[in-house]
């Protein structure tokens, strides 16, 4: 290893571009996004569309269009910058805007992602609470010590997995993703007959028009929770597109997509959007309405534990716990990255532990979960201006003759254009919201464009129009030294070996057979129930066998994962 490269030994690898030998193929991202976006929040959002008074056709078409727009945003906005820089947003922003804005922004992200993670830990805890008969936590504070202990138990699992970094998050998500999709789909199939019996007096809609009629009468009625006309197609499209602005337009997912071999892997986010934010949102609405019929309650009065239990039996407890974990782990990983960028003299593992403990404490207070949707919406508008600043610096400046990294080349620790643009972007976005100029769901678009224009104008006045040949040469040499350093490190590491042994293949086959059996049983409940009595019998059979299939799937999937790890250790 050369002396010029040894300077990087003291840096955490999260502060360097991802090494070439650590890149992943598209399957990692397909699993990661499928697991993260088929999550416990889908139970809540499924009920939200009901409360907002959407109509059935608006849901079916609007969610499809909105989620396609979200996938395209990841592919053409986030993925190119992530792959070209190989840096997380937190590290890259430091090169663009200096320490002052970066620390301010990272603090904002630590708070945002810690609260999101805390809310998902609380969701998982509600399932365990339901299983042990602990009273529902309806106040903003916990009133049962057992609930607090459950939160800590669930939270410790989340923190432990997040500590091990991207690979651990990806492995856990990869195991959970197929099962989560099967269970959401099965839950809708199991409870649709309950709805059909209540509305149509038969176990199954006869045709497409019958299904739309069922949806309009019992799920997406077009009337909100206050009895007023609800949202329409345009709002549903905007909701689906804006739900993840914090990660695509806001560029937070540079932290994940920097590991992608190709920019086109941004399309892998479609597993999360199509399976999670399309199929799972629709399935959650059906499950919620079905559980409401069974319990004789309003869908908006149910918590995820209620819905999941009556849709999936004991497997429902598992899905709420696991779905909460997958989202909590990913967001805690992001919060740990942001914290590590602030306290750069500490490792990501140390910062993740500290942030994780604080997150678990926050999760003990149920109000966090009840306010998660407003938080997600405002958090997106908060970070979109920063995404616009980075987009302008990386994509627009080279095309108009401006110098990228001009602030870094001038050794500025305080970037007036960046901080001013962020502030003005927030005033512009929240100002439009206060004036009610347009639908809140679309405010991120003009806010993003406005910030790009303001930052480009200000940066030009503060030094972006100038050239810095000496600084640019030093940056080029540093990048070359980093590549040499990482190539040397790669030679010292053992390559990952694929485990294609017969025993591992059998384990994987058994796991997927368990998923197939679950789907077949749900299919029988939906299409093999001739009357109410046979429906109830088939549903009970599904509850029992599906839980066994769940245990088989996780046992075999985890065993196969361990065998693969052991092969690489030998």
pLDDT in tens, 191-213: 999 889 888 888 888 889 888 98
Q: What is the pLDDT of residue 553?
A: 92
For the record, the structure tokens of 267 come out as: 């399309």
pLDDT above 90 for 148: no
The highest-confidence range among 103-117, 217-231, 415-429, by mean pLDDT, is 415-429
- Predicted confidence at residue 542, as pLDDT, reads 93
**How confident is the model at residue 425, as a pLDDT?**
95
Percent over 90 (pLDDT), the chain? 26
Percentage above 70 pLDDT, the chain: 87
Give the whole-angstrom CA distance, residue 273 versus residue 81: 21
User: In the structure, what pLDDT confidence band is assigned to residue 122 with cuts at 50, 70 and 90?
Assistant: confident
**Predicted confidence (pLDDT) at residue 244 exceeds the cutoff of 60:** yes
Burial class of residue 211 in the structure, from the number of CB atoms within 10 Å of its CB (0-12 exposed, 13-18 middle, 19+ buried) = middle
Give me the chain's average pLDDT, please. Answer: 83
pTM of the model: 0.84
Query: What span, in angstroms and rounded, lies between the C-alpha atoms of 352 and 357?
Result: 8
Q: Report the range out of 88-97, 298-307, 458-467 with the highest average pLDDT.
A: 458-467
**What is the pLDDT, as a whole number, of residue 523?**
94
Q: How many CA atoms lie within 13 A of 208 on its CB side?
A: 2
pLDDT tens digits, residue range 338-386? 788 788 777 777 888 888 888 888 888 876 666 666 677 777 888 899 9
pLDDT classification of 516: cutoffs 50, 70, 90: very high
d(CA 139, CA 117): 20
pLDDT of 401 reads 92
Two tokens, residue 235: 């709002």
Q: In the prediction, which pLDDT does 130 show?
A: 67
Contact (CB, 8 A) for 290 and 118: no
CB 73 within 8 A of CB 248: yes
Banded model confidence at residue 3, pLDDT cuts 50, 70, 90: very low
What pLDDT score does 40 carry? 62
Give pLDDT, residue 1. Answer: 42
> What DSSP assignment string belongs to 19-49?
PGGG-B-HHHHHHHHHHHHSSTHHHHHHHHH
d(CA 58, CA 68): 15
Across 431-453, average pLDDT: 91
Mean pLDDT of 527-553: 91
């Amino acid at each position: 290893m050369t002396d010029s490269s040894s300077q990087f030994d003291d840096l955490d690898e999260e502060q360097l571009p991802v090494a070439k030998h650590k890149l992943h193929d598209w399957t990692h991202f397909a699993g990661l996004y499928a697991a993260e976006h088929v999550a416990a929040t889908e139970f809540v959002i499924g009920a939200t569309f009901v409360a907002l008074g959407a109509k059935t056709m608006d849901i079916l078409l609007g969610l499809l269009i909105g989620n396609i727009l979200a996938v395209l945003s990841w592919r053409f906005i986030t993925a190119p910058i992530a792959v070209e820089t190989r840096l997380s947003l937190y590290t890259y922003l430091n090169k663009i805007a200096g320490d002052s804005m970066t620390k301010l922004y990272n603090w904002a992200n630590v708070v945002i992602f810690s609260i999101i993670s805390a809310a998902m830990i609380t969701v998982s805890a509600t399932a365990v609470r339901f299983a042990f008969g602990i009273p529902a936590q309806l106040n903003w504070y916990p009133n049962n010590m057992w609930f607090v202990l459950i939160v800590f138990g669930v939270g410790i699992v989340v923190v432990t997995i997040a500590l091990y970094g991207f690979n651990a998050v990806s492995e856990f998500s990869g195991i959970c993703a197929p099962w989560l999709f099967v269970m959401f789909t099965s839950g809708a199939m199991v409870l649709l007959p309950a709805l059909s019996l209540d509305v149509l007096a038969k176990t199954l809609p006869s045709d497409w028009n019958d299904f739309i009629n069922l949806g309009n009468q019992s799920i997406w009625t077009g009337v909100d929770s206050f009895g007023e006309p609800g949202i329409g197609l345009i709002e549903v499209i905007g909701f689906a597109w804006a739900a993840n602005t914090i990660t695509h337009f806001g560029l937070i997912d540079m932290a994940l997509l920097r590991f992608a071999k190709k920019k086109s892997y941004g399309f892998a986010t479609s597993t999360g959007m199509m399976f999670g934010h399309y199929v799972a949102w629709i399935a959650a609405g059906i499950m919620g309405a079905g559980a409401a019929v069974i319990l004789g309650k309003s869908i908006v009065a149910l918590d995820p534990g209620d819905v999941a239990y009556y849709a999936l039996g004991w497997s429902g407890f598992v899905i709420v716990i696991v779905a909460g974990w997958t989202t909590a782990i990913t967001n805690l990983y992001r919060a740990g990255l942001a914290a590590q960028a602030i306290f750069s003299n500490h490792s990501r593992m140390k910062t993740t532990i500290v942030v994780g403990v604080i997150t678990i404490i926050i999760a003990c207070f149920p109000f966090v979960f009840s306010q998660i949707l407003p938080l997600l919406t405002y958090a997106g508008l908060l970070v979109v201006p920063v995404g616009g600043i980075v987009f302008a610096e990386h994509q627009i400046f080279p095309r108009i003759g401006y110098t990228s990294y001009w602030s870094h080349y001038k050794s500025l620790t305080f970037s007036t254009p960046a901080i001013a643009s962020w502030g003005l972007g927030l005033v512009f976005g929240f100002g439009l919201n206060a004036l009610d100029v347009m639908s809140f769901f679309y405010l991120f678009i003009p806010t993003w464009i406005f910030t790009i224009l303001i930052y480009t104008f200000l940066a030009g006045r503060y030094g972006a129009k100038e050239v810095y040949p000496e600084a640019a040469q030093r940056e080029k040499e540093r990048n070359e030294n980093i590549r040499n350093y990482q190539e040397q490190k790669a030679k010292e590491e053992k390559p990952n070996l694929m485990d294609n042994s017969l025993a591992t293949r059998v384990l994987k086959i058994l796991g997927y057979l368990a998923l197939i059996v679950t789907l077949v049983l749900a299919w029988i409940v939906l299409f093999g129930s001739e009357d109410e009595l046979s429906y109830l019998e088939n549903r009970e059979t599904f509850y029992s066998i599906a839980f066994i299939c769940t245990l088989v799937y996780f046992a075999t999937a985890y065993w196969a994962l361990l065998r693969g790890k052991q092969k690489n250790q030998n």
